[in-house]
Amino acid sequence: MKSEEVKDEITNVLFTEAQIQKRLQELAQEVEDHYQGQDLLLVGVLKGAVVVMADFIRHLKRHAEMDWMAVSSYGSGTKSSGVVRIIKDLDQDVVNRNVLVIEDIIDSGLTLSWLVSNLRSRGARNVEVLTLLRKPDAAKVAVNVKFVGFDIPNDFVVGYGLDFAEKYRNLRDVAVLSPKMYS
Ligand code: IMP
Ligand code: MG
């Protein structure tokens, strides 16, 4: 779906499909340099990271494995509390693996912070994070995010895997959702 098709529901396009691909290609190069000569396991968190994962892994000019987790974070309303339950666990063992967590967006970073500790406690050799988008609040959390696509303002964005009530994941661009959609 293109932004044109939902132009009445968004206020503006933040990043076009082409801008996202260019940035993912640059990040792929950084990741190749960082993990030179080492194995690499990409771990995506369902469902938001599906689109980032699909494109990012194809920009990599090297081998990489892909695995997925589904988690649910307990919290009141829309804010996550950092208390997490695993809905679907990894298929693979992470002992001695170089794990790169693939994220769509980091806001409070609470779930991510839990996930990184969880993967470390299982004996991963190292755990790093790649996110397409990062919001200002992410700075408050003690998770070191090595690979960041874009830092964005505190607006609610949709598209490229990111949803509002499970919609807009199939929008090709990243766009700011019009406040009238949730007020
Ligand atoms: P955190 O645990 O607060 O970092 O929340 C991260 C999750 O909240 C993301 O994986 C998204 O599912 C959701 N989220 C945070 N900000 C946005 C947004 O602007 N648009 C859509 N989803 C968002
Ligand atoms: Mg979501």
| Residues noted as catalytic | 107
pLDDT at residue 79, rounded to an integer: 58
Q: Identify the residue whose C-alpha is closest to ligand 1 atom 16.
A: 107
172 within domain boundaries: no
pLDDT at residue 18, rounded to an integer: 98
170 within domain boundaries: no
pLDDT at residue 76, rounded to an integer: 52
The pLDDT mean for the chain works out to: 94
178 within domain boundaries: no
How far, in Å, from the CA of 135 to the mean position of ligand 1? Answer: 9
57 within domain boundaries: yes
118 within domain boundaries: yes
Pocket test for ligand 1, best of 107, 115, 151, 158 (most atoms within 8 A of CB): 107
Report field, pTM of the whole predicted structure over 0.85: yes
111 within domain boundaries: yes
Kindly report the number of other CB atoms within 10 A of residue 110's CB atom.
21
pLDDT at residue 45, rounded to an integer: 94
Of the candidates 96, 93, 99, 92, which has an alpha carbon nearest to the alpha carbon of residue 35?
A: 99
What does the pLDDT look like over 33-64, one tens digit per residue? 999 999 999 999 999 999 999 999 999 999 99
Q: Contact 117/138 with Cβ under 8 angstroms?
A: no
55 within domain boundaries: yes
Q: Identify the residue whose C-alpha is closest to ligand 1 atom 11.
A: 105
What does the pLDDT look like over 58-106, one tens digit per residue? 999 999 999 999 998 765 555 566 678 999 999 999 999 999 999 999 9
7 within domain boundaries: no
Residue 54: domain span: 17-152
Determine the Cα–Cα distance for residues 49 and 166; give it in Å rounded to an integer: 13
Q: Report the domain count for the chain.
A: 1
Q: What is the CATH number of the domain that holds 102?
A: 3.40.50.2020
Choose the weakest-confidence range: 15-29, 69-83, 157-171: 69-83
